[in-house]
């Protein structure tokens, strides 16, 4: 139910905060008065009219704010976020409750509490996230997961133009900085009055954890250095990752490589990503198993996965950390020019994407070998999605894709609806690009699909054709990022590398 009047709205907000956001009765009058001021209302009476549906409440806040001229239309989200921030307990209260649950119940329960709070206070906009498309792509040996992200809002040009005039603001330094906690937001920085986070130490340093508002998978967390320092992967990274899974054994955690093309979009603030999801790579079978001197209590394997991934399992945390450091040290300088692998030119090119999770008392460490060099033939990256796949994904293939979960851009939904019409013979490609000029990125794909399947497919069949096309493309993109290709030549180069790191294949 949409509420159109201020008094009733404040009634509903108080009742919602009481039921869903831990509003203490001591704070009710105080919060009511804050809301009265925010809505420019001087009189108040408790009424029975209330609404507890979150989406309706947000719509009501925005409609009342517009009607009463409290805010300009383009700032509506800033306004509703500020209100939801007021309804949410202070950061200190949230942290106390979180650690109380963590120490006296379980880390799972603590995380469940924080996650639910972030959904209930509209920081994680679940109804928008549910619009995302998600499916599983099955292949003979492995599977991938694919989502088309429709919930991340497209930037509008007006906002970008406004931003261009205002480059002087340096607070918070970036979107991950701790100083976002409670920040009202601006054109290039989202409002964060309703974010809540938890502080802890990793490897003796101050870090914190918050949920991702975009939620690419269950309980998607971002684990962030409290200082604005550059991404880096070194010995201490592995200590931090192990410290994290010791605190939160039901979450995996991984770091993007610290270089562009193979890393994430934010390289200037050290952070990890983690969560509850079972990533496809975790289910991958092994291709080779090894013994290594000094690592007798470890199971070491090279996975039968699309990119180049080593896995080590051990209950011994020190062994996990020293194995990772040893491989990193060798990999950072490892070269094999025959397969285009050059560790560094003027800059570093070799990198590692590490992931750690815990299963019972065992640490599982994954090391994905990466390289970001470009050349004339592959200006976007030798071990990056090659040009024919750019219509599906051109952006860096970071941690989450490397583990087998593809986040594809929202534009694909609309573009593929147009491609569907072409494959059903309702419109020709030439006519379609007149109304839909951005279809041109799919020109080769459309030609290929038309020659293979013709132009008189049923709707059902077209859906299958396009899904298969996306599935195969994602798999091929991951294969592009593999340093050692899954061929006999790739295999012989892999074996050279394995012996360089002292890994002896069992039965090989």
Q: Which CB, 269 or 364, lies closer to Zn ion?
A: 269
For the CB of residue 228, give the shortest distance to Zn ion in the complex, in Å.
Answer: 4
Q: Which of the stretches 26-34, 204-212, 268-276, 381-389 binds Zn ion when contact is defined by CB under 5 A?
A: 268-276
For Zn ion, the closer of residues 224 and 419 by Cβ is 224
Contact stretch for Zn ion (CB under 5 A) within 70-78, 150-158, 165-173, 352-360? 165-173
Minimal distance in Å, beta carbon 221 to Zn ion?
Answer: 17
Task: Please give the Cα distance from 58 to 174 (Å, whole number).
Answer: 27
Computed on alpha carbons and rounded to an integer, the radius of gyration of the chain in Å comes to 25
Of 186 and 493, the one with the shorter C-beta distance to Zn ion is 186
**Residue 507 DSSP code:** T
Minimum CB separation from Zn ion for residue 385, in Å? 28
Measuring CA to CA, how many Å separate 93 from each of 90, 106, 163, 198, 323? 5, 18, 35, 11, 40
Q: Closest separation between CB of residue 94 and Zn ion, Å? A: 21
**Binding characters for Zn ion, 220-259, by CB under 5 A (x = yes):** --------x-------------------------------
Nearest residue (CB) to Zn ion, 192 versus 269: 269
Question: Binding of Zn ion at residue 181 (CB under 5 A)?
Answer: no
User: Secondary structure of 133-148 in the HEC alphabet?
Assistant: EEEEEECCCCEEEEEE
**177 counts as binding Zn ion under rule CB under 5 A:** yes
Closer residue to Zn ion in complex, CB, 186/287:
186
Q: Minimum CB separation from Zn ion for residue 174, in Å?
A: 3
What is the maximal distance between C-alpha atoms in the chain?
82
Select 224 or 245, whichever has its Cβ closest to Zn ion: 224
Site for Zn ion in 410-439 (CB under 5 A): none
Start-to-end CA distance of the chain, whole Å, equals 68
Specify the stretch interacting with Zn ion by CB under 5 A; choose among 105-113, 117-125, 176-184, 418-426: 176-184
User: Do the bridges between strand 198-202 and strand 504-505 make them parallel or antiparallel, or are there none, so unpaired?
Assistant: unpaired
Nearer to Zn ion, 228 or 485 (CB): 228
**Given the rule CB under 5 A, which of 267-275, 304-312, 412-420, 425-433 is the region that contacts Zn ion?**
267-275
Which of the ranges 23-31, 160-168, 171-179, 365-373 carries the binding residues for Zn ion, by CB under 5 A? 171-179
**Cα–Cα distances in angstroms (integers) from residue 477 to residues 148, 228, 330, 373, 386, in the given order:** 16, 32, 26, 16, 7
Paired sense of beta strands 143-149 and 133-138, if any: antiparallel
Whose CA is closest to 502, among 251, 194, 295, 352? 295
Per-residue H/E/C for 226-290: CCCCCCCCCHHHHHHHHHHHHHCCCCEEECCECCCCCECCCCCCCEEEEECCCCHHHHCCEEEEE
Neighbours of 440 (CB within 10 A): 12
Structure tokens at 343: 């560790």
With CA atoms as reference, report the closest residue to 136 among 294, 256, 283.
283
From 11-19, 40-48, 265-273, 314-322, give the range in contact with Zn ion by CB under 5 A: 265-273
Residue 203 C-beta: closest distance to Zn ion, Å: 19
Stretch in the footprint of Zn ion (CB under 5 A) among 67-75, 167-175, 209-217, 285-293: 167-175
Quick one: tokens of 504? 């002896």
Q: How many of the chain's residues bind Zn ion (CB under 5 A)?
A: 6
Q: Which of residues 275-304 bind Zn ion (CB under 5 A)?
A: none
Q: How far is the CB of 271 from Zn ion (least distance, A)?
A: 9
Residue 426 half-sphere exposure toward CB, CA atoms < 13 A: 10
CB of 242 to Zn ion, least distance (A): 24
Burial of 141 (0-12, 13-18, 19+ CB in 10 A): exposed
- Our CA angle for 226, 230, 234, nearest 5°, is 100
Nearer to Zn ion, 147 or 258 (CB): 258
Give least dist CB 264 to Zn ion, A: 13
Give the nearer residue to Zn ion in terms of CB position, either 67 or 227: 227
Q: Which is closer to Zn ion, CB of 269 or CB of 370?
A: 269
Nearest to 474 by CA among 89, 138, 90, 220: 138
CB of 172 to Zn ion, least distance (A): 6
Give the shortest CB-243-to-Zn ion separation in angstroms: 21
Residues in the chain: 508
- For the bound state, the minimum distance from the C-beta of residue 424 to Zn ion, rounded and expressed in Å, comes to 48
- Residue 159 CA: distances (Å) to CA of 62, 85, 162, 173, 380: 19, 23, 5, 19, 29
Nearer Cβ to Zn ion (151/273): 273
Nearer to Zn ion, 70 or 174 (CB): 174
Task: Tell whether residue 173 is a contact of Zn ion (CB under 5 A).
Answer: yes
CB atoms within 10 A of CB 434: 9
Residues that bind Zn ion (CB under 5 A): 173-174, 176-177, 228, 269
């Amino acid at each position: 139910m949409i509420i159109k009047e201020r008094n009733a709205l404040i009634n509903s907000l108080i009742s919602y905060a009481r039921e869903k956001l831990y509003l203490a009765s001591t704070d009710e009058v105080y919060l009511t008065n804050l809301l009265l001021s925010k809505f420019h209302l001087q009189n108040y009476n408790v009424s029975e009219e209330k609404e507890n549906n979150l989406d309706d409440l947000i719509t009501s806040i925005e409609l009342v704010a517009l009607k009463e001229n409290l805010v300009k239309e383009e700032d509506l989200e800033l306004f509703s976020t500020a209100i939801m921030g007021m309804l949410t307990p202070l950061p200190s209260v949230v942290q106390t409750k979180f650690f109380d649950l963590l120490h006296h119940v379980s880390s799972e329960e603590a995380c469940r509490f924080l996650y639910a709070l972030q959904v209930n206070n509209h920081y994680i906009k679940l109804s928008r996230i549910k619009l995302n498309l998600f499916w599983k792509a099955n292949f003979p040996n492995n599977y991938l997961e694919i989502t088309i992200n429709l919930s991340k809002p497209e930037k509008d040009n007006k906002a970008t133009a406004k931003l261009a005039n205002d480059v002087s603001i340096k607070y918070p330094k970036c979107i991950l900085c701790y100083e976002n906690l409670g920040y009202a937001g601006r054109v290039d920085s989202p409002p964060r009055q309703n974010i809540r986070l938890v502080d802890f130490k990793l490897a003796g340093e101050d870090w914190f954890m918050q949920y991702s508002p975009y939620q690419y998978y269950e309980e998607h967390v971002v684990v962030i250095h409290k200082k604005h320092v550059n991404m880096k992967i070194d010995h201490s990274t592995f200590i931090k990752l192990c410290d994290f899974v010791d605190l939160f054994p039901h979450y995996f955690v991984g770091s993007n490589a610290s270089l562009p093309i193979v890393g994430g979009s934010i390289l200037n603030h050290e952070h990890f990503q983690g969560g509850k999801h079972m990533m496809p790579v975790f289910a991958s079978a092994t291709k080779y198993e090894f013994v290594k001197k000094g690592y007798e209590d470890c199971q070491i394997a090279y996975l039968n996965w699309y990119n180049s991934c080593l896995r080590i399992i051990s209950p011994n945390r020190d062994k996990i950390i020293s194995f990772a450091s040893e491989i990193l040290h060798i990999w950072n300088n490892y070269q094999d020019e025959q397969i285009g692998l050059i560790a560094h030119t003027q800059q570093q090119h070799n990198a590692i994407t590490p992931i750690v999770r815990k299963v019972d008392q065992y640490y599982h460490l994954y090391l994905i070998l990466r390289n970001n060099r470009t050349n004339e033939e592959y200006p976007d990256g030798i071990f990056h999605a090659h040009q024919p796949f750019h219509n599906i994904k051109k952006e860096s293939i970071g941690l989450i894709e490397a583990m087998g979960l593809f986040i594809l851009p929202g534009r694909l939904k609309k573009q593929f609806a147009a491609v569907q019409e072409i494959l059903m013979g309702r419109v020709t490609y030439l006519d379609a690009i007149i109304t839909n000029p951005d279809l041109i990125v799919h020109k080769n794909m459309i030609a290929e699909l038309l020659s293979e399947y013709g132009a008189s497919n049923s709707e059902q069949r077209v859906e299958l054709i396009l899904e298969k096309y996306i599935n195969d493309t994602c798999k091929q993109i991951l294969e592009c990022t593999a340093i050692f290709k899954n061929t006999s030549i790739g295999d012989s180069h892999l074996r050279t590398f394995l012996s360089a790191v002292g890994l002896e294949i069992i039965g090989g």
